A = this chain, B = another copy of it.
Amino acid sequence: MTKVVLIDDHQVILYSLSLLFKSMENVEVIGVLNDSRKLKAFLETETVDIIVSDLHMPHLSGIDLTLMLRKDFPNLKILLLTMAEDAYHIREALRAGVHGYVLKRATKEELEKAVEKIMTGKKYYSEAVIDELAASPDDDFNNSKPETIEHLTTRELEILKLVTMEYSTSEIAEKLFISVATVETHRGNLMKKLEVKSAIGMAKFALKHGLVD
């Protein structure tokens, strides 16, 4: 029997998912948590095979959770079950080292298959996930959609944040003790890198990636 712990911040979903997993052969739900921060304490007392977790959660996201677990519990398998279908989140998850990435719009059968496959030591990703990755390839292969946060320099990130916080170019220059011209250069470079045509595009990028709220 595969020992499973479920994590989702939405109680109804959590409960429903537990019913679904309980209806699976060879699966035993030994815990359901509505807060990812509770997991570490849980793991102190229980032996778990696989964690099935949401990605977007308050306090500790599925990705941060994964990073934490991979260090402290290297044998633990992590399956993210999320509605995030964008290449950015997918890559983040892969980078963090998840064992599976399944979309909430998958079927029960697919989810079951994912758990099985992961327990045999393999990895599982929904087909749409692979398609999304293929459609927006990393720049190792292709220069199209730079998952650009990594391609931004620290200074650029700093300015991007300030722009998004509605500071004007001159205000940013003052704040950072650099000239207006320099800020303008950074803004221009940012817009090129992000492939947007105005500060609004920058702001949208920053918000989407959680750089600013």
Q: Report copies per complex.
A: 2
User: Would you give the 0/1 interface string for A91-130, flagging 1 where the beta carbon is closer than 8 Å to chain B?
Assistant: 0000000000011111110010000000000000000000
Q: Which of B16, B107, B168 contacts A17 (CB 8 A)?
A: B16
Contact between B104 and A15 (Cβ–Cβ < 8 Å)?
no
Number of A residues near B (Cβ < 8 Å) is 35
Contact between A15 and B108 (Cβ–Cβ < 8 Å)?
yes
Is A197 positioned at the interface, with any CB of B under 8 Å from its CB?
yes
Chain B's nearest CB lies how many Å from the CB of A13? Answer: 5
Q: Which of B12, B20, B164 contacts A12 (CB 8 A)?
A: B20
Is A60 positioned at the interface, with any CB of B under 8 Å from its CB?
no
Question: Which residues of chain A have a CB within 8 Å of any CB of chain B?
Answer: 9-13, 15-17, 19-20, 23, 34, 81, 83, 102-108, 111, 163-164, 166, 168, 196-201, 203-204, 207
Contact between A13 and B166 (Cβ–Cβ < 8 Å)?
no
Q: Which of B19, B81, B102, B106 contacts A19 (CB 8 A)?
A: B19
